[in-house]
Each structure stands twice: as C-alpha cells, then as structure tokens.
Amino acid sequence: PYVVVSNHQSSLDLLGMMEVLPDRCVPIAKRELLYMGAVGVACWLGGIIFIDRKRTHDAISTMAEAAHTMLSQDV
C-alpha cells in the first residue's frame, strides 16, 4: 500500500493521473472540486471521495471511514 499525493496545475491533469494510477486506487479530493460544474460531476461519477478541508474533524472522519471500507473490501 502507498499514498500518491498530486499537486496538479489544472483540471486537465486529472485526465493524465487516471492513466497512471493503479486500478485499485481510491482517490480523495477537496470538496471545492465538487462545485466546479462538469469537472465536479465527473469526479463524483468517478467515485472520488470528497473531504472538507475547512472542517478538520469531518475530513478526518471521512478519511477514517474510507480507510475502514478499503480494509473491509480488501482494496
């Protein structure tokens, strides 16, 4: 297991990342991306987990829940 951290420069970088990330990757993105029109919808449909960076406790809870799900489903 490993963590890939990407500091991309534009929304188009997401397309390239999808080509290089492993099949069993669980993407996490900042919640603000959800409200970027077509990009947000595409991210949501792609199964990206959104975290609210302004609410630290909620972000930690979301990531802990994602980790629990990953472990239980052997992802």
Give me the long-range contacts of 21-30 (CB less than 8 A, separation at least 24): 24/75, 26/66, 26/70, 26/75, 28/63, 28/66
pTM as predicted: 0.68
| pLDDT 10s digits, 18-46 | 777 777 777 888 888 889 888 888 888 88
Q: For residue 21, what pLDDT is reported?
A: 78
Q: For residue 10, what pLDDT is reported?
A: 74
